[in-house]
Amino acid sequence: MLPCPNYDTHMRGWNPYLALLGFALAFGTTDTLAQDAPTYPVTISVTDVTGAAIAHAVVHLDADLPSTLGKMETDQAGNLHVALERRVYDISVSAPNFQTTRQLARVVKQSNARGSSQVIPIILNIIPVGGMLITATDSIAIHSLDKQITYSLEQFAALPHVTLNIHNAHTDADEAYSGVPLAALLEKAGAPLGKDLHGDAMSRYLLAAGSDGYTVVLSLAEVDPSFHAGQVIVADARDGKPLGDRGPFQLIVSDDKRPARWVHNLVSITLANGR
């Protein structure tokens, strides 16, 4: 018969309380590491469709954020500055007299450049009054990731224009639109175009919004002439005359077979980060 091992001898150095303490320390360390996950500076910028900043807009995220962040509300410039971990957030924004908006946004790893911050643009529509949206349409706003330029009618008219001759499938008519290439407007706002459009920038896209809240999407590469043969312009005249009830600004996308993205009463172009 084989000798029975002396369990008292083998187990003499084992202390169940020390084992439990070890497990507690291990799990405690894991929790600490989770709490110490790196965060990155993010600016949530809230505007209306004309590009005007909305102060005191209340922002909700689908995450339990530390109380040290304070009140989740935009400042007088329409911005909320927070530090967030890398992931996708479901952002809900509300403000008096505006429709509540929900949007998914991904916080990405950023460069260590001092003062750099990822900008997440949020556009709110005014609550309809009598079935109509009441917004100003005498200007157009171009939003880049960290810059905004607003043009009045006079300022826009002074910019270099091009003429685009195109067939409108909706009206079955040949039309001549005069306007400014969207790429030129985006370049003034600091958007990455030409040799700077590569890597992560290729995931960026544009939201073109009309005064009635109608919004369409274009990829950034679509409007860059170094990538795409078609032309995209912001027009302020058709056949030598003001746009009338379609204006004062309208988006024209030459390669679209249907003019569904030719946004009437265009009020804003917003560059968004797709990653």
Question: Alpha-carbon distance 221 to 227, whole Å?
Answer: 6
Domain chopping of the chain, boundaries: 37-134, 136-275
Q: Looking at domain 136-275, which of 3.70.10.10, 3.30.70.20, 3.40.50.720, 3.90.420.10 is its CATH number? A: 3.90.420.10
Mean pLDDT of 71-96: 89
With H, G, I as helix, E, B as strand and everything else as coil, classify residue 96. coil
Predicted pLDDT at 15: 55
Q: How many CA atoms lie within 13 A of 167 on its CB side?
A: 3
Residues pairing with 58 in the sheet: 73, 94
| 62 close to 104: Cβ distance less than 8 angstroms | no
Confirm if 169 and 259 have CB atoms less than 8 A apart.
yes
Looking at the DSSP bridge assignments, the partners of residue 174 are: 167
Go through 234-272 and write b for each residue having 16 or more CB atoms within 10 A of its CB, e for each that does not. bbbbbeeeebeebbbbbbbbbebeebebbbbbbbbbbbb
Contact in structure between 46 and 143 (CB atoms under 8 Å): no
What would the pLDDT profile of 37-72 be if each residue is shown by its tens digit?
Answer: 788 899 999 988 777 788 889 999 876 665 556 678
Tell me: pLDDT of 87 over 90.
no
Banded model confidence at residue 21, pLDDT cuts 50, 70, 90: very low
Q: Which helix (H) or strand (E) holds 20?
A: helix 16-35
What are 235-251's pLDDT values in tens digits? Answer: 999 999 999 888 899 99
| pLDDT of res. 80 | 93
- The CA distance from 96 to 38, in Å, is 34
The pLDDT, as a whole number, for residue 10 is 45
Per-residue confidence (pLDDT) for residue 275, from 0 to 100: 60
Does the pLDDT at position 31 exceed 80?
no
Q: What is the mean pLDDT of the chain?
A: 80
The pTM of this model reads 0.56
Given a contact cutoff of 8 angstroms between Cβ atoms, the answer to whether 191 and 269 are in contact is no
CATH fold match for the domains 37-134 and 136-275: no
Statement: residue 229 has pLDDT above 90: no
What is the pLDDT, as a whole number, of residue 64? 62
Q: What is the CB-side half-sphere exposure of residue 233 using CA atoms within 13 A?
A: 21
The CATH architecture assigned to 37-134 reads Sandwich (2.60)
Residue 271: partners with Cβ closer than 8 Å, 6 or more residues away: 121, 143, 144, 145, 186, 189, 191, 204, 205, 206, 220
Q: Are 249 and 211 in contact (CB under 8 A)?
A: no
pLDDT at 186 over 90: yes
**Rounded mean pLDDT of 205-234?**
89
Sheet holding 118-124, edge to edge: 79-85, 39-48, 118-124
- The residue ranking higher by pLDDT, 150 or 113, is 150
Look up tokens 């030129």; give the residue: 184
Rounded-to-integer distance, Cα 78 and Cα 44, Å: 8
